Structure 1
Amino acid sequence: MGPRTVGVGLLGCGTVGGTLARTLQSDHERLLRETGLDFSLRRVVVRDADKSREGVPSTLLSTRWEDLLSPEIQVVVEVAGGAGPTFEILKRLIVGGKHIVTANKVVVSEHGDELLDLARRHRRWVGFEASVGAGVPVLHLVREALAGTPVSRVVGILNGTTNYILTRMEECSETQEAALRSAQRAGFAEADPSMDLDGVDAAQKAAILATLLTRQVVHGRDVPTEGIRQVTASDIASARRFQCSLRLLALITCEASDLEVRVHPCLVPSRHPLASVRDQQNAVWVESPLSGPLLLSGLGAGGGPTTSALLADLVDIGWHLGVFEDAAPPWESVGRLRLRPSGESVRRNYLRFAVADQAGVIGEVTTILGSHGISIESVHAGVEDGSSGEGTLEILTDDSRERDMADAVKACEALAQVLGPCRRIRCL
């Protein structure tokens, strides 16, 4: 039996699309030898077909997405990005009989349930490994390697841009603005980095991962999210003082009756493996009562890592062509778990107050915390300037409910000896 030919169409040809197109052609013999699949790039749909693209024959270029409906194409790889129009095109392609591979976290996080349901009804497959973690095969781990294994918690560094910025602030003493410029020069940050800095990118990825973990629909817009815009050099110094690193984390906690999904900066103890994840790397820490803790790490963005994930889905679909048409893919959302309200979240916290350098202020703050049921793990107090009459009070708490912590902080801020808003950072 000879190799199976897989006709591939490409929607979009930027950094990632160009890398994939060149790989399918330059590595054709290796892929054929290792997978038994004869990948043939049939069409590349772009906005400007007159623009030269290295390694992509001009005869393959088109500006009409309808060309991807050609019977020569079995799988369409979408790397165009965007939401509304791209989503509509993907639906038309599925109805037209095409399997889909996508790196589009926006579409998957906001419309994945509809897209996957449509694919199931039309006996087609949607591969989206590249939408979370790029070169870190976390979706494969959850969907296949841990199939049948209960997962209690997932903690992830899912955005390479913010991790690069926080690493530069920590290791090079750069301001956030300088670290962002470094990231942009290195190609790790967009000209408009809002999706990264505000935590939206990480929240979309967390929603995809949570949906796959629980088979309950979670949208990115439903994930409580805090980005890194407020992180300062003082926060980095405080983290170091408490033997921690500061990271933007996605946290997913799975319980029998509800599900918690959050994205926010966290103090990560130096002994935890996630504290050593540096620069643009992504990492996912998975906890299971059966397997114990697992760690996956690697490059989370860029043409190479994303192409690696796209290829994995292409190969998977290629191996199963003819099977999906006879049986629905193993995906069906089974409803919507209760998303735990923000106020019920339980976590350790770091608090920093600017206070008057007066006797009794520590006692007043700690008394208020105690009255709200918040236990204290450690306290550090220091004087900012001997002549200013001001000091800093830092407190590390034990686990406490989000609602109780918010009420306690508000009460502390009302004290005359507290000179400004509390800086609060959650702890892993």
Structure 2
Amino acid sequence: MKELGIGLLGFGTVGAGVVEELQKNGEMIANRIGVKPVLRKIADVDLDRDRGVNVDRSMLTRDAESVINDPSISVVVELIGGTGIARKLILQALKAGKPVVTANKALLAEHGAEIFGQAAERKVDVWFEASVAGGIPIIRSLREGLVANRINGIYGILNGTCNYILSSMDKEQVTFEHALKDAQVAGYAEADPALDIDGIDTAHKAVLLASLAYGFHVPMSDVYVEGIRGISRTDIEYARGMGYKLKLLAVIKNESGEIEVRVHPTLIPVEHMLSSVSGVYNAIQVEGDVVGQTLYYGRGAGRYPTASAVISDIADVCRELAFGDIKRRYSFSWQKEEVKLKNMGQIESRYYLRASLLDKPGVFGQLATVLGQHQISIASVLQKERHAGKQVPVIVVTDRAKESDFDAAIADIDAMSAVGAKSVRIRIEDLG
């Protein structure tokens, strides 16, 4: 059976998982694809740390460029991470005419136009199944399984850390700080969790999904991103009582030819399948014009789910190199026509509003008047507590309204003398 050499850049958690699974399942994979991927070299700055796998020391090197330049290596796998040295090495591999497999969502989201442009110029490809949602084959589904469809919308729970925190706040009725600490102790959150809880990790993934679904480069700077630091147990409890679950959601929509790409805390009806996704699991709903709604669910991170996705890409690229794929299109084939990204102020949504109002006659009427002045209608109101002459929380759910109108309304509400604290706004997606 023909063999193809694999060079691995980065021997961390995922890299070790790739090595372990290739050692364990290499023969099975070879029998399935008709060609044998053979790991020939591994580059990492630390060659001595125990990874829980046994490798021949002669395969290890600190010189990543020597891996790329080795003529026995046909496929370069980048698992270093970050946007510095990884970018340089990927571009170098592409320049050498070698296809690249990567899990580096941040790099592709921020430098995708450059990297995919280089790949197309050199007539090689970049494979990145592991960059979004770990072991869930969402990239392959968009590229292949849903190729007959125009994508109307993608809604994704794409960060296991955030989903674990929000699930804990809901089920255990604990504070954000308590749930975050639990996630760190359990190994689901980093010591510095900013990329996760501030929504950046989810935004990187949303950029890749949007770019793939609609065929144009989505700049990170054009994506609205709001994390979960400001979420309170109070709002989760109120939302539950009103029939909603709170999730950090990536929302990607095609609204009459204008594309929305945004990440923010979102209320989802409890009867919708996405609302039941708990813990560190990810899930993605894709709506196609032909197939309708489809749902993808699984572990979105970790040594083995991510290694599974990396190896699936290795298998595909090896099969392509061994047997050819005439006139195949590359990862991104950018549309020639102009595609417009919708400004966040122009999006429309329903809203959950929690305002702290002085409990006296006429105050709620003032709030309702402000909403009406900004063309926002009220769908329902909830006030569980009464304390005459004191501040009480009042929950308002609105009908669909424009984001810019709601921005103006909430500013006017917070300026009212009867409002005792900054109001809370959470967007609602009914999801059909």
Partner residue, 1:298? 298
User: Does the Cα contact within 8 Å between 1:125 and 1:329 map onto a contact in 2?
Assistant: no
CA positional deviation for 1:290: 1.6
User: Does the Cα contact within 8 Å between 2:351 and 2:399 map onto a contact in 1?
Assistant: yes
CA positional deviation for 1:365: 0.9
Partner residue, 1:51? 49
Q: Does 1:383 align with 2:390?
A: no
Q: Does 1:235 align with 2:235?
A: yes
What's the CA shift string for 1:330-350, capped at 9, x where partnerless?
A: 332225522111110100000
Q: Does 1:42 align with 2:44?
A: no
Between 274-283 and 404-413, the greater mean CA deviation after superposition: 404-413
Structure 1: how far apart are the matches of 2:74 and 2:30? 17
What's the CA shift string for 1:169-221, capped at 9, x where partnerless?
A: 00011211121122122221111110001000000000000000011101333
CA positional deviation for 1:272: 0.9
User: Does the Cα contact within 8 Å between 2:244 and 2:267 map onto a contact in 1?
Assistant: yes
User: Does the Cα contact within 8 Å between 2:353 and 2:423 map onto a contact in 1?
Assistant: yes
Structure 2: how far apart are the matches of 1:168 and 1:57? 43
CA positional deviation for 1:4: 2.8
CA positional deviation for 1:324: 6.4
Q: How does 1:3-402 map to 2 (within 5 A)?
A: 3-53=1-51, 54-68=53-67, 69-321=69-321, 327=327, 329-330=329-330, 331-334=332-335, 337-383=339-385, 386=387, 389-402=390-403
Alpha-carbon RMSD? 1.6
What's the CA shift string for 1:136-161, capped at 9, x where partnerless?
A: 11111111001031111111001010
- Secondary structure in 1 matching 2:384: strand
User: Does the Cα contact within 8 Å between 1:19 and 1:304 map onto a contact in 2?
Assistant: yes
- Secondary structure in 2 matching 1:48: coil
Structure 1: how far apart are the matches of 2:292 and 2:180? 36
- Secondary structure in 2 matching 1:121: helix
User: Does the Cα contact within 8 Å between 1:22 and 1:56 map onto a contact in 2?
Assistant: no
Return closer, same or farther for 1:281/1:70 CA change in 2, 3 Å cut-off. Answer: same
What's the CA shift string for 1:13-68, capped at 9, x where partnerless?
A: 11100010111112122112222221110000000224344322222110001222
Structure 1: how far apart are the matches of 2:389 and 2:234? 18
Structure 2: how far apart are the matches of 1:392 and 1:175? 18
- Secondary structure in 2 matching 1:206: helix
Structure 1: how far apart are the matches of 2:325 and 2:382? 64
Gaps of 5+ in 2: none
CA positional deviation for 1:327: 4.2
Structure 2: how far apart are the matches of 1:87 and 1:94? 11
CA positional deviation for 1:323: 6.5
Partner residue, 1:412? 413
User: Does the Cα contact within 8 Å between 1:101 and 1:126 map onto a contact in 2?
Assistant: yes
Return closer, same or farther for 1:52/1:394 CA change in 2, 3 Å cut-off. Answer: closer
- Secondary structure in 2 matching 1:321: helix
Structure 2: how far apart are the matches of 1:133 and 1:380? 36
Structure 1: how far apart are the matches of 2:326 and 2:30? 25
Identity of aligned residues (%): 38
Return closer, same or farther for 1:254/1:289 CA change in 2, 3 Å cut-off. Answer: same
Structure 1: how far apart are the matches of 2:303 and 2:13? 6
User: Does the Cα contact within 8 Å between 2:29 and 2:315 map onto a contact in 1?
Assistant: no
- Secondary structure in 2 matching 1:391: strand
Structure 2: how far apart are the matches of 1:61 and 1:181? 36
Structure 2: how far apart are the matches of 1:109 and 1:301? 18
CA positional deviation for 1:252: 0.3
User: Does the Cα contact within 8 Å between 2:360 and 2:389 map onto a contact in 1?
Assistant: no
User: Does the Cα contact within 8 Å between 1:123 and 1:327 map onto a contact in 2?
Assistant: no
Structure 1: how far apart are the matches of 2:60 and 2:112? 28
- Secondary structure in 1 matching 2:21: helix
- Secondary structure in 2 matching 1:203: helix
User: Does the Cα contact within 8 Å between 1:124 and 1:329 map onto a contact in 2?
Assistant: no
What's the CA shift string for 1:234-271, capped at 9, x where partnerless?
A: 11111112111110000001145321100000111101
User: Does the Cα contact within 8 Å between 1:143 and 1:212 map onto a contact in 2?
Assistant: yes
Letter aligned with residue 383 of structure 1: E
CA positional deviation for 1:325: 8.8
- Secondary structure in 2 matching 1:228: coil
Between 343-352 and 91-100, the greater mean CA deviation after superposition: 91-100
CA positional deviation for 1:328: 6.0
Letter aligned with residue 376 of structure 1: I
- Secondary structure in 2 matching 1:382: coil
Return closer, same or farther for 1:57/1:175 CA change in 2, 3 Å cut-off. Answer: farther
User: Does the Cα contact within 8 Å between 1:123 and 1:328 map onto a contact in 2?
Assistant: no
Structure 1: how far apart are the matches of 2:165 and 2:107? 26
